[in-house]
A and B are shown apart, each in its own frame.
Chain A
Amino acid sequence: MIEIRDLHTYRGLNYVLQGIDLDIPDGQCTVLLGRNGMGKTTLVQTIMGLLRPRGGTVRIDGTDIAGRPPFAIARRGVALVPQGRRLFPSLTVEENLTLGVSRRSRGSRPAGGAGWTSERVYELFPNLGQRRHHRGNQLSGGEQQMLAIGRALLTGPRLLLMDEPSEGLAPVIVERVGQVIADLREQGLAIFLVEQNYGLAIRSADSVSILANGSVVWRGTPGDLDADPAARESHLGV
């Protein structure tokens, strides 16, 4: 689905991504771990087009989209569940959900992620259905996270970028997020999951990469990582 090669991104004057090589295959959950400040969010934002890389390529099905605007990347089937959720406080739950769905784009979206409607999201997250006319900022943390996921799904993606979806949530809600990730993956959606929560990451992952100081320093399966306490200790501190 996505091939990242030698990607370099600055944040202002900070040289954050220093040559990233990473593949995000179709239909799998690819997990990115790493300590705070190592560039995980910068990588997600670069893939989504929110940051413009200085060099390197990000190929979606062979087409380089590095430096394209976010809306063009979204229309190629990439959706973002951003860190901090970034819901629209001026919009109702329903408006938040359906903002990315336009009559024009419905037909032209890539086929893989088709079929998501607000009704289907409300079935998945009944709490949201009861609050569809509330403002986006009147929800609990867990509901906000579900809304952020639903909003991304309604753009009809084939790849979901999830930036720390467990952040600030109670353990039981984190558990629920883990289920949702597993379900979505089961339905054929590719997921790129950035996490601090080691447990959630390992349970969800097909493959794991670890980011440190702007480059990928370790990659393997969750099993490999579990069997490699040295890597966990030096890169994650867990």
Chain B
Amino acid sequence: MATDQIAEQKLTIGTHTFDSRLIVGTGKYANYEVMQESLAASGTDCITVAVRRERLIDSQGNNLLDAIDVSRYTLLPNTAGCFSAEDAVRVARLGREILAGLENPGADWVKLEVLADQKTLLPDPVATLDATRQLVADGFQVLCYTTDDPVVARQLKEAGATSVMPAGSPIGSGQGILNPNNIRICLEYLKEGDPDYPVIVDAGVGTASDVTLAMELGVDGVLLNTGIAHAGNPVQMGHAMRHALEAGRLAYLAGRIPKRLYATASSPEEGTIAGKPR
């Protein structure tokens, strides 16, 4: 029954629907074989990719696209590495051009990243907002990487973002969900009167419990990369992330007990043969 419940609860982001609520990155794996096995272990249906200059000297080198089954996965191209709205819009259009050529369903959407700072990789909220408006006007479904600031999250949704994706902590930092309260407020603001609006925790996941915590908060999915790619055993961590996601999702649906300051006994308090302390 539990498994059926999960299966019925598909993840819908704009026009895209997936069985798995994990979105997994394709960067930083030791090699393509480990990447393929890790993606399979995670159970994901949707993988992120980056747009970069073709290496003209090494055109014999393996292309990522030779290692990915584009009929199996929906690709989500990102604008990682862009530090201005203008560059992010250019990169989004280039990504769409490649995906359209591959006839991949991911051609109509983008994971928008407009960064402000190389050390923290924190987003530039003003430029992200600007780029969101331009890309929405150009017909993209825009998934916005942002901080966990609820005010910015609300502005991005108002600008037409298909999904707002607050970071748990800085990209690749593995610090997990640093401010669960902000994620809660983001969820409240973004889902107010619109409970199906998809909110994804993107970035910062270090291990399985981070995924579970995110899902227990009520987010719709988790996007991660380094947590699997740089794990000691990436394939095993892929499995762990899949189970962690299911555990967190089920716990959220089941409804947790409230936290109390004092204990409440699980066994009957009457009928004990023992004397009570004063």
The reply to whether chain A is a binding partner of chain B is: no
